[in-house]
Structure 1
């Protein structure tokens, strides 16, 4: 299937999204979904990027380069192992590699490529950034500001009307950007002067966590010597643990950080309040930049329809809390890290659909319209082609690249509840968000014809999720929805009940009763508390997700089931018509073939969330048996599904 891509070359990570006739969705560049924004320069001056760079640097960290995007425009070379490189060359190598990776996965090159850059950059840095297209050998059809890309996706996701004014607050790994955007007839238009804070981001939050841990461990972390190989490895592990703790505390109130120091395990309890106390001044500084950007547009905060949060670090509840102090609605998309890339993919998809051919010289964003005249291209140090074996490609057995899904996982140090991505807080004067629009590779299922009902073939392999009213050992159940402050929160099932606004889950003798009570999105899910679940044999054996359900009453406005393999890896299936078609008061069986999930992105051999039910509307269901079984996918009563819904 022809496709186009949007590329967000971030300071700490790279996100790529696909756009085609199905919609837009995240592309998987590595097992961690996004590629780390790093580069490795070997002795011959060849550049390797992403995970391959980290692998190559295990025995030679002096040749690893980080944070080079912030050096763009600095004429001083960046030295790695004695080899001098320009930031443009390193960025060009990243673009070359991610486009090559997607091309290999899709077995064809993208039709259009749209790349993003910080909206707050001035003309000189935008001109320097424009040079990476020529250096990479990639035809870039458009370079667009991050805020314009984020607004493009959000406006499409929410179906906002022309004239709406958005403030985009992008809190990334090493920087924060704020801009005001108006939705015009020709697309988003930047108003006023964007603000950029280049040394305030998620890495600073990680440093705050490391400071807390160091204090509680009596200075044992700060005593480590980076020049000592063993201590250096410990510092790397500490950094990873701090990032993981930040991600866990984005969705949970507390965690325990486990560190191996001097051959002994140190377990340090950490709460969300701990890190909020440390980082609140930084977040307030970032919000002040947002207010300055609004003021530069000649507007008062009251003129902003909604503040859109983007960037992975914006997932911390404190960020939404502080941004909301300006008195305007705050919203996030399903995964803030991908908001910019998804918007770029939407623009690329539109270029492909209209058949528009752009000048091969990239167009660079301006503060006035989002695009400007082509920059002057000059030469610099070009990246060399990496060796054939430099990059380890991720080969997937699914038919399509995995898309963004409903729930997510954040679990590295200790187990964590899933982080959903569909629910946001829309502006008060806009239409409610469409759950379908926010995750386009969702497969649409069609109920089986009534005449095809038959006896299900006996399974030879099965994985139970819920048996009658008893959850499978090793699985924990949760409920998620927005609270009154607009924060997408999690409540675990405890003492037989989990209640959130718009959804209540109750364990009864008849099964798990779930009651959705409004048009705001809410979901329930079962998640592994240990190792990932291997459903490969079930998928290979024409398997299916099978569940017994009683519709006690009500109707779903939207209902889908999903499974996940580490957020945002997963697959989702829209079964709204199937659920609404169930006879009220009678237990019935629903069979969704595994193929429906793998075609939309599930990797069945690494499932961590085997069951998600996401819905809107007023719906009362009882689930009495949920399981994955082989051979069930061929049952005559199984739903029919495809990416196009046919």
Structure 2
């Protein structure tokens, strides 16, 4: 069913093909491909109503479920792009809950597709499958791995592009517009008859694009007021030359997804081409050439079948959907000339670091020797029998990963002997150090405290 809704003047909603037909006579009350706007706070204007994309999606789903011949299903699963974050999913979940659908199961689209494929051709555990999804408005490439029975997880981060079948429809439409010049520019954009004819022409362009998947050329019918042209010819070679740059971008995104997942093409158990525009012959040719293996479009409705399998079975663990199983791709190597320079400098840098460390140790030993036998020193003028109460201000602990090597200067804080049974208690606050002593330490112990911010590792 196409993602199209039509809002009537009385507030009722039509969806799918019914909405497409009504849009021919009243195009200002229709919304298409609204799922791509989920999470966008800017509302969609549909007639005299302003609704968010997630609210329109919820209305769409409610109408679809109400039209089912078997009535309301026991469970509902909704697929979504694998790259969607928490905010977009929660926005959609809230809108569905407000519409009476509180127990919807969300399934990443690529995982649903692979689960449907697994039901048709059983995959071995550990098998990796590439998914090339070219939909109406967006493209997504992902690699999914089967861990166990009915458990599928992403093998790497997905790749997404803002390109899809609607862009290819627009290419065909612009081809027709150029063929209708100069009569096209003379049309009145406010004439209802013109608007209806243009909407019908767009539908004809979409149908022509789909026919070119099987035919080598098509004739696009034209019925515009004041224009004598009745048909515009379009060949498959012309169409492919116009969309080739976009298709090449999708193939490059698929290659990036494979490299990010650490999975070469020959290790893939299957390559699934899904989405209406994935049936374009040029897509199959380009993907086959890139991967070095024959590929073909998957059966229709793979994502819906996989979502139904999720809804029929047990709900997967959240970790199975959210946990990424990929490794980082290797970083590009530096040029050989630069690597030679680094190799030459490495011994000198290492020697310098070692010399600095030795010098620091010698200076520290000299400082300890000079201070031997010194009297007890404390920077806190607190009586031996009193205890200083600290405020509730939290201690600042700064985590510094991979802290650099200490400088080759004598350390400012030194303890000459191990602590005694009655140790000194130190409480550190931002930029301030407070030392409290419950009893006078033995004369032989030395405690030196330097103010500063405490640096600590991860808790």
TM-score, normalising length from structure 1? Answer: 0.47
* Distance in 2 of aligned mates of 1:194 and 1:358: 20
Give ranges in structure 1 of 5+ residues lacking alignment: 1-33, 370-646
Contact 2:129–2:268 at 8 Å: present in 1 too?
Answer: yes
CA deviation digits over 1:128-169, x for unaligned, max 9? 222243123135442101111111111221222222111101
Q: 1:61 aligns with which of 14, 24, 27?
A: 27
Deviation at 1:197, TM superposition (A): 1.4
Partner residue, 1:41: 7
Alignment partner of 1:287: what SS? helix
Deviation at 1:85, TM superposition (A): 1.0
* Distance in 1 of aligned mates of 2:86 and 2:259: 22
Query: Which structure is richer in relative contact order (CA contacts within 8 A, separation 6 or more)?
Result: 1
Alignment partner of 2:174: what SS? helix
Deviation at 1:264, TM superposition (A): 4.0
Q: Does 1:366 align with 2:322?
A: yes
Greater CA drift, 315-324 or 137-146: 137-146
CA deviation digits over 1:104-151, x for unaligned, max 9? x12x43222211111122222222222243123135442101111111
When residues 368 and 240 of structure 1 are mapped into structure 2, their CA distance, relative to the original with a 3 A threshold, is same
Contact 2:169–2:206 at 8 Å: present in 1 too?
Answer: yes
Matches within 5 A, 1:526-537: none
Count residues with an aligned counterpart.
322
Q: 2:298 aligns with which of 333, 336, 340?
A: 333
Partner residue, 1:289: 253
Q: 2:263 aligns with which of 284, 295, 299?
A: 299
Contact 2:38–2:91 at 8 Å: present in 1 too?
Answer: yes
Deviation at 1:39, TM superposition (A): 2.4
Contact 2:24–2:196 at 8 Å: present in 1 too?
Answer: no
Partner residue, 1:549: none
Partner residue, 2:47: 81
Matches within 5 A, 1:365-384: 365-366=321-322, 368=324
Contact 2:143–2:158 at 8 Å: present in 1 too?
Answer: yes
When residues 233 and 41 of structure 1 are mapped into structure 2, their CA distance, relative to the original with a 3 A threshold, is closer
Give ranges in structure 2 of 5+ residues lacking alignment: 326-459
Q: Which structure dedicates a bigger proportion of its chain to strand?
A: 1
Q: 1:135 aligns with which of 98, 105, 108?
A: 98
Q: Which structure dedicates a bigger proportion of its chain to helix?
A: 2
* Distance in 2 of aligned mates of 1:314 and 1:222: 34
* Distance in 1 of aligned mates of 2:189 and 2:155: 45
Deviation at 1:192, TM superposition (A): 1.4
Deviation at 1:52, TM superposition (A): 4.0
Q: Does 1:192 align with 2:156?
A: yes
Alignment partner of 1:313: what SS? helix
CA deviation digits over 1:229-252, x for unaligned, max 9? 122122112111111111111112
CA deviation digits over 1:461-492, x for unaligned, max 9? xxxxxxxxxxxxxxxxxxxxxxxxxxxxxxxx
Partner residue, 2:141: 178
RMSD: 2.6
Alignment partner of 2:322: what SS? coil
Matches within 5 A, 1:4-19: none
**Higher Cα Rg, which structure:** 2
CA deviation digits over 1:314-334, x for unaligned, max 9? 111101111112224423223
